[in-house]
Amino acid sequence: MNEDLKLKDWLNENRARGTRFLQRLVQEKSTRGNESSAQAIIIEKCRKLGLALDIWEIGDEELLKHPAYCSDRKDYSGNPNVVAVLKGKGDGKSIILNGHIDVVPEGDINDWTDDPFSGHIQEGKMYGRGTTDMKGGTAALLLALEAIIASNIKLKGDVIFQSVIEEESGGAGTLAAVLRGYQADGAIIPEPTNMKVFPKQQGSMWFRVSVKGKSAHGGTRYEGINAIEKSMLVIEGLQQLERVRNARIDDPLYENIPIPVPVNIGKIKSGDWPSSVPDIAIIEGRIGVAPHERMEDVEKELEAAIDEVCVKDGWLSENIPSIEWFGGRWQPGNLESDHPLITTVGKAFERVTNKEAIIEASPWGTDGGILSNVGHTPVVVIGPGVTASAHDANEYIFLDDVFEAAEVIALSIVSWCGMVEE
Amino acid sequence: MNEDLKLKDWLNENRARGTRFLQRLVQEKSTRGNESSAQAIIIEKCRKLGLALDIWEIGDEELLKHPAYCSDRKDYSGNPNVVAVLKGKGDGKSIILNGHIDVVPEGDINDWTDDPFSGHIQEGKMYGRGTTDMKGGTAALLLALEAIIASNIKLKGDVIFQSVIEEESGGAGTLAAVLRGYQADGAIIPEPTNMKVFPKQQGSMWFRVSVKGKSAHGGTRYEGINAIEKSMLVIEGLQQLERVRNARIDDPLYENIPIPVPVNIGKIKSGDWPSSVPDIAIIEGRIGVAPHERMEDVEKELEAAIDEVCVKDGWLSENIPSIEWFGGRWQPGNLESDHPLITTVGKAFERVTNKEAIIEASPWGTDGGILSNVGHTPVVVIGPGVTASAHDANEYIFLDDVFEAAEVIALSIVSWCGMVEE
């Protein structure tokens, strides 16, 4: 196919520019609340591509009151959502290309070899927070679009590119885009799947458990109750919950995933004095929600697991820990196995790589849950990079993977939206 | 004995004033770094009693370089140590009366019924942080002195009253007083022993263990190593260490103490994102040192216990946690059982209460370790209040106990220092 070659050639010829674009994105530390400078780079690129831009600060009443809205962020000002549309000639299927611009914090700086926002390139890899999750993916989306435009391919359907904030904290950015009216016949989210096709996505929710103790002087610690020791019982209960929930999952798409719906203990904080017995411990974590599950059922199951821990402990049965569902909340996504979008993307992958596409369920939540459940837009997640690198120190991405992803996405867009023949 | 009655009467007659004095002390929040306003009340009182005042800011070179100095405090300015001397007529034994003015933080404010610094009085108890640990004891010292002075009793030996800072963080205040030259033939420290006589004091040290993990996205948590889970193994190792160390203690003075030398896990902090696998956990705690033990041997024993945990765990054996000995460090105290100071204080107790004195080993460290090991001053710890209340929410002291302690201490001083007969 002639267009396939044109797109491949353009991507090959523009590797240096594309790489530099990704590097600039990575060098902007777009952690939560600091997304604006990275968005500015996206906006500049979209403007040069001639796309119709829609830039707005999210946070209106409709968003804040929506049942799927879940965020503790107080202020969105100065850090906009960006949508850029390439209008089709008509008569084709539309597609949303969704990437998030926010990155998680860099963690312990001592674990990084270079500055976490260096964008340093070595042996074909670019390093830095967000390279994999997911500025590499976002760069692939824009490279795909630029390749199509530069190759003078005219599409029938609309392409709606989205660079959203807040994915790492519950998806308020994508939800705002849905509520602004952006829907489509399909969507691609290039989160790091290592180019596997994920039609189902794990949802997830954050929880906070506050475990009470009784303070005392450390020298007579037996006169107090140590909240840290009691929180260890709660953590063991959560570990047991994870085992029970995962033993139940028999979806073949999860065959190769060691823990399909993990319970992650992400934070603990207790005590303010080494020689006092701490009287409260706060645990924060994330529980995965399987594609077929309802979030409220999973909430109830976790609450029951902690109740079970309490029943077995004299102190906890009198001092039940409080449980809050706060912050991040990602709906699971569940696209039917025979949806044409899966076929389109899978075939594009096969044309580019000469390998068979691997179809699996995603081990983590994405904004795909909101796009599909609230926006009624069928979603496939496929993107460059491996999950192991996301959120880790020395996060990196293979540049080859970014360009391969751009090619697969470009071919998918052309197939899905349809091409106006000359 | 006529003087006994005089002292008792004076204390009875001055209950309201004494109570108000303690209340004023409690209402000043003298947490670390904020000791000055409470010290001002002490200074005012000592000046009225006609004592020779020595008020100075600690932190000179000699202190900072002393092997027993252990503190992370950077600035002592504005928060002085106070020593006030009642000079004897000569030919008697001298005594140090030592109390600390610093209090530990109030903890979770929601656990308190009243403001933690209210000094609220109800049913014979005064409430507030520091009532028991140890402003009640300090008030008892000054009431004893005032009773002696007001009763016109002339002592032979010197009385050296000390109101020091930094006891809760390792004893730099008392160490500074020792280095300034204050030594005596005996010392009383009225920490809350519930009026038991403690000739031996548990020492203690703070430790910090940093446990490494490997960060990852929470949705694929199996690709990381959770530092919180690994720190649970370390905590279990420390719990086991506590069992082993206490099984070994056969000193009859510890007969009634459930855990003679506890290992307290006082703080834990790990993680900065609920849906990331945390890559480091910091545990801080306190290990008790038995009267006969050397601090360096206890350090080695804790380090060996953590090594043992690591050997059994694949990850920890490759990623050995780091151990720091930081902040608080209290020498143990070990007064020989037949020392005359024990007899003097014991008899005073019996004269006041008509009950037999109970002699035990203290379950916690005090500044007595520094007074005896560095200052070569024999120390007995005896004071009002129960340890269970110290460092706890709703800390309180029975006012009766404060006045009983003042009487016992007054009688002890008169016996020990000797009285000039008219």
Residues in chain A with CB shorter than 8 Å from the CB of B217 are: 133, 364, 387-388, 390-392
Q: Which residue has the higher pLDDT, A237 or A422?
A: A237
d(CA A177, CA A101): 14
Rounded Cα–Cα distance for residues A133 and A387 (Å): 8
Q: Please count the other Cβ atoms lying within 10 Å of the Cβ belonging to residue B114.
A: 12
Per-residue pLDDT band for B329 (boundaries 50, 70, 90) equals confident
Does A264 contact B280 at a Cβ distance shorter than 8 Å?
no
In eight-state DSSP terms, residue B131 is I
**pLDDT above 80 (res B364):** no
- Which residues of chain A have a CB within 8 Å of the CB of B214? 392
Whether A105 and chain B come into contact, CB under 8 Å, resolves to: yes
Joined together, the tokens standing for residue B3 give 């003087």
B399-417 and B2-13 are packed helices; what angle lies between their axes, rounded to 10 degrees?
A: 150
B198 interface with A at CB cutoff 8 Å: no
**Under 8 Å between Cβ of B172 and B332:** no
Q: pLDDT at position A254, please?
A: 86
How much is the average pLDDT of B391-395?
90
Look at A309 and B71; give whichever has higher pLDDT. A309
Q: What is the rounded CA–CA span in Å between residue B15 and residue B143?
A: 10
Task: Determine which of A231-245, B54-68, B252-266 has the lowest per-residue pLDDT on average.
Answer: B252-266
pLDDT tens track for A382-391: 999 998 788 8
B395/A contact by beta carbon, under 8 A:
no
- What confidence tens digit (pLDDT) does each residue in A214-228 have? 999 898 899 999 999
Does residue B319 sit at the A interface (CB-CB below 8 Å)?
A: no
* A324 interfaces chain B, CB cutoff of 8 Å: no
Active site residue B167: yes
Q: Does A367 touch chain B (CB under 8 A)?
A: no
Contact present, B222 and A262 (Cβ < 8 Å): yes
Instruction: Check CB contact of B223 with chain A, cutoff 8 Å.
Output: yes
Q: What is the mean pLDDT of chain A?
A: 95
Integer Cα distance of A264 and B203 in angstroms: 39
> Which of A235, A259, A391 shows the shortest C-beta gap to B222?
A259
With a cut of 90, say whether residue B2 has pLDDT above it: no
* Alpha carbons A241 and A280: distance in angstroms, whole number: 23
Pairing state between β B280-289 and A280-289:
unpaired
Q: pLDDT: is A107 or A341 the higher one? A: A341
Q: Is the pLDDT of residue B1 over 60?
A: no
B111: tokens are 């656990």
* DSSP at B346: H
From the list A220, A270, A288, which residue is nearest B387 (CB)? A220
pLDDT band at A346 (very low <50, low <70, confident <90, very high): very high
Which of A28, A35, A146, A167 is catalytic? The answer is A167
List, for residues B398-416, the tens digit of each pLDDT value: 999 999 999 999 999 999 9
Closest CA relative to residue B378, chosen from B412, B418, B328:
B412
Candidates A203, A270, A274; CA nearest to A235 is A270
| A257-to-A253, A357, B226 alpha-carbon distances in Å | 8, 17, 18
All residues at 6 or more sequence positions from A312 whose CB lies less than 8 Å from its CB, including other chains: none
Average pLDDT over residues A43-65: 97
**Residue B356 CB neighbours (<10 A):** 9
Strand B81-86 with B159-164, pairing: antiparallel
CA-based torsion, A56, A61, A67, A72: positive or negative: positive
What's the rounded mean pLDDT across residues A330-354?
A: 94
Q: Do A364 and B393 touch (CB under 8 A)?
A: no
Contact present, A316 and A288 (Cβ < 8 Å): no
Give the C-alpha separation, A398 to B6, whole Å. Answer: 89
Is pLDDT of A165 > 70?
yes
Catalytic residue among B35, B54, B102, B404: B102
**Sign of the C-alpha dihedral, residues B191, B193, B194, B199?**
negative
Given the cut 0.90, state whether the ipTM is greater than it. Answer: no
Q: Would you give the end-to-end CA distance of chain A in angstroms?
A: 15
Q: Which residue of A has its CA nearest to B267?
A: A271
Which residues contact residue A210 at a Cβ distance below 8 angstroms, ignoring those fewer than 6 apart? Answer: A280, A281, A282, A283, A321, A322, A324
3-state DSSP helix/strand/coil percent for chain A, to nearest 5? Answer: 40, 20, 35
Candidate from A220, A228, A391 with C-beta closest to B215: A391
Q: For chain A, give the percent of residues with pLDDT over 70.
A: 100
Q: Enumerate residues 49 to 68 of chain A having a beta carbon within 8 A of any beta carbon in chain B.
A: none
The predicted-structure confidence for B272-328, as pLDDT tens digits, reads as follows 999 899 999 999 999 999 988 999 999 999 999 999 999 999 999 999 999 999 877
Do residues B58 and B173 touch, judged by C-beta distance below 8 A? yes
Whose tokens are 């995933």? That residue is A257
Q: Which residue has the higher pLDDT, B373 or A17?
A: A17
Average pLDDT score over chain B: 95
Residues 6+ apart with CB under 8 A from B324: B207, B208, B209, B210
Tell me if B112 sits within 8 A of B88, measured CB to CB: no
| Residues B264, A226: C-beta atoms closer than 8 Å | yes
Contact B108 A280 (CB under 8 A): yes
Write the DSSP string, B384-398.
Answer: SS-GGGTTSTT-EEE
**Residue of higher predicted confidence among A253 and B123:** B123
Residues 6+ apart with CB under 8 A from B338: none
Task: Count the residues in chain A.
Answer: 422
- C-alpha count within 13 angstroms, C-beta hemisphere, residue A218: 31
User: Which residues of chain B are within 8 Å of residue A362 when distances are taken between CB atoms?
Assistant: 219
- For an interface test with A, give the residue of B257, B391, B395, B396 to mutate (most A CBs within 10 A): B391
* Contact state of A235 with B228 under an 8 Å Cβ cutoff: yes
Question: Of B324, B323, B374, which is closest to residue B67 (Cα–Cα)?
Answer: B374
Residue A1: the pLDDT is 56
pLDDT of A364 higher than 80:
no
Closest-CA distance of chain B to residue A334, Å: 17
Distance CA B341, CA A371 (A): 79
- At B420, list the tokens: 């000039």
Question: Quick check: A85 and A149 in contact, CB under 8 A?
Answer: no
In this structure, what DSSP letter does residue A153 have?
A: P
Best probe of the B interface among A206, A221, A243, by most B CBs < 10 A, is A221
Contacts for A48 with CB less than 8 Å, ≥ 6 apart: none
Q: Which domains, ranges and CATH numbers included, belong to chain B?
A: 2-201+332-417 (3.40.630.10), 203-330 (3.30.70.360)
Nearest by Cα to B391 from A25, A86, A213 = A213
